[in-house]
Amino acid sequence: MEKLLEIKDLKVYFELKRSLLGKKRIVYAVDNVSFDVYKGETLGIVGESGCGKSTLARSLVGLNDITDGNVVFLGKDNLAKADSKRWHALRQEIQFIFQDPVASLNPRMTVAEIIAEPLNVYYPKMKDEEVLAKVLDMMHLVGLSDNQINRYPQEFSGGQCQRIGIARALVLNPKLIICDESVSALDVSIKAQIINLLKDLQKKLSLTVIFISHDLSVVKHICDRVLVMYLGNIMELATKEVIYKNHHHPYTQALLAAVPSANPKVEKHKHVKPLEGELPSPLHPPQGCVFSTRCPLADDGCKSARPELRYMDDGALVACFKA
């Protein structure tokens, strides 16, 4: 498969104000992450709140500065070194769907103005009738009707606002869509509709999608591969079949065990205990394996050295000495 995005040794650090003693304080939000994204696939990125998945997503569209590493887009553009002028051009190819569908829309703009805004920015000479036709096409594509074109965001439900956000992201025909928890704020029934819409659009438009979520049941439905993050590091990366049926990392196992089952018998006989302890601070990550402070299998070796990602027989990439 052809690579759309190549991420190598990516680091995103945030420097905080110095302490009272004058010591430099750094948040290691994303720490030495490497993976590839292939054309036409949907890659899910999962993990607990604070694991760095949203920071990673925002760094891929220039919303967070990249501290170190390389992010190569289409084999030529290194996003880590792109200036503001280059980012302006790149954003035609890479679009973002935000977590809060209502807050991501300007309440003073109509649906037509919101969806047309990217066209006005990148194609200022496009005729008004062409812009209107494109806006209507996008509205139909995401399940909105013509008579909603002059309404404002506050007149819509959360699910409808997310459809508007999706239409705005797609109007420039991008190659990559990044969805940052884009269904987490929605009701269950509306969530299912938006997930199915994204899945249909991905096939219809041959999109490449990075789907950020903490809901593993949603990721299972929509994604081809799954990347598991913990405290800014990759724990496991594999196809969804491997992740859900033959996972290797104890953290992946704990995440899956936390997903409630609709079958009471299955729920009753779960044998994996929930994770104990708190997520360590990214200001002071553990010296060895970052998961060692909560891992039931950790020993002294895990606490003294950090495991490298290695391939398993089924093609999974795993960072664990015990796998």
195 contacts 222 by C-beta, under 8 angstroms: yes
233 contacts 31 by C-beta, under 8 angstroms: yes
Alpha helix segments (H runs only) across 10-108? 53-59, 84-90
Residue 199 neighbours by CB under 8 Å, 6+ apart = 42, 221, 222
CA angle 198/200/204 to nearest 5° reads 115
Give me the pLDDT at residue 165, please.
96
**pLDDT, tens digit, 9 for 90 and up, residues 11-44:** 999 998 776 677 788 999 999 999 999 999 999 9
C-alpha distances in angstroms, 116 versus 90, 127, 134, 167, 178?
18, 12, 8, 10, 20
Delineate the domains of the chain, giving CATH numbers in brackets.
Answer: 3-81+207-318 (3.40.50.300)
Backbone angles phi, psi at 319, to 5 degrees: -110, 80
Mean pLDDT for each consecutive 10-residue tract of the chain (323 residues)? 93 85 85 95 93 93 93 90 90 92 93 96 95 97 95 94 96 95 84 92 94 90 95 96 94 86 55 74 91 92 93 95 89
Please give the Cα distance from 263 to 213 (Å, whole number): 23
Residue 266 neighbours by CB under 8 Å, 6+ apart = none
Please give the Cα distance from 88 to 71 (Å, whole number): 16
**pLDDT, tens digit, 9 for 90 and up, residues 248-297:** 999 999 999 887 666 655 544 455 666 777 888 888 899 999 999 999 89
What pairing do the DSSP bridges indicate for beta strands 25-38 and 3-16? Answer: antiparallel
User: Which DSSP state fits 281?
Assistant: P
Cβ neighbours, 10 Å, residue 155 = 12
State the pTM of this model: 0.91
Please give the Cα distance from 53 to 205 (Å, whole number): 25
Please give the Cα distance from 303 to 274 (Å, whole number): 21
Instruction: Report the largest interatomic distance among the alpha carbons of the chain, rounded to a whole angstrom.
Output: 68
Give me the pLDDT at residue 189, please.
84
Give me the pLDDT at residue 265, please.
56
Residue that is written with structure tokens 């919101």 in the block: 114
CA angle 207/105/151 to nearest 5° reads 105
